[in-house]
Amino acid sequence: MWKRSGLASALWFLIVPMTFAQDASKILAMEKIWNQAELNNDAKALQLILAEDFIMTVGDGYTLNKKDMLDSVRDKTYKPTLLQSEGMHVRMHGTAAVVTGEYHEKGTDKGKPFDRRGRFTDTWMYLDNRWQCVASHFSVKP
């Protein structure tokens, strides 16, 4: 009996880290898809990534819900030419994950050029059999 429970414990420790690594890879891939969705004004792709109760806090303190975020991606007056995330780290916490990293975005917004760099934190949860972003926060470097 002891041998079986010992084997089960050993298998658990082997399986769980692989699952976390696979989930972390999926989440990083979705972060990249998010950037591509914004670059291509693809609200449909973003719709699948964001949870229904998604909330984003932007650099100036305002918040956007899922509808606001999708509307901003559909807005053709915002034209990013570069949207890149770097130095991303995923911290897994069961059915939740926190991604931190840096971003660089460049383009025009309502005809005015912008070039911003900053940091972000995205919180993901495993809901309805898939990973969804429930909250995001970013700050702009001065």
Structural domains in the chain, CATH included, are: 2-140 (3.10.450.50)
Average pLDDT over the chain reads: 88
CB 84 within 8 A of CB 35: yes
Query: Above pLDDT 90, what percent of the chain?
Result: 79
Tell me if residue 70 falls in helix, strand or coil: helix
Euclidean distance between CA atoms 66 and 51, whole angstroms: 7
Strand, helix or coil at 123? strand
Compute how many other C-beta atoms are within 10 angstroms of the C-beta atom of residue 104.
14
Tokens at 53, concatenated: 């109760």
Average of per-residue pLDDT across 11-28? 68
User: C-alpha 16: how far from its chain's center?
Assistant: 22
- The CB density around residue 38, as the number of other CB atoms within 10 Å, is 20
What's the rounded Cα separation, in Å, for the pair 63 and 8? Answer: 46
**pLDDT digits 0-9 by tens, 88-129:** 999 999 999 999 999 999 999 999 999 999 999 999 999 999
**Residues 47, 70: contact at Cβ < 8 Å?**
yes
pLDDT by residue (tens digit) across 39-57? 999 999 999 999 999 999 9
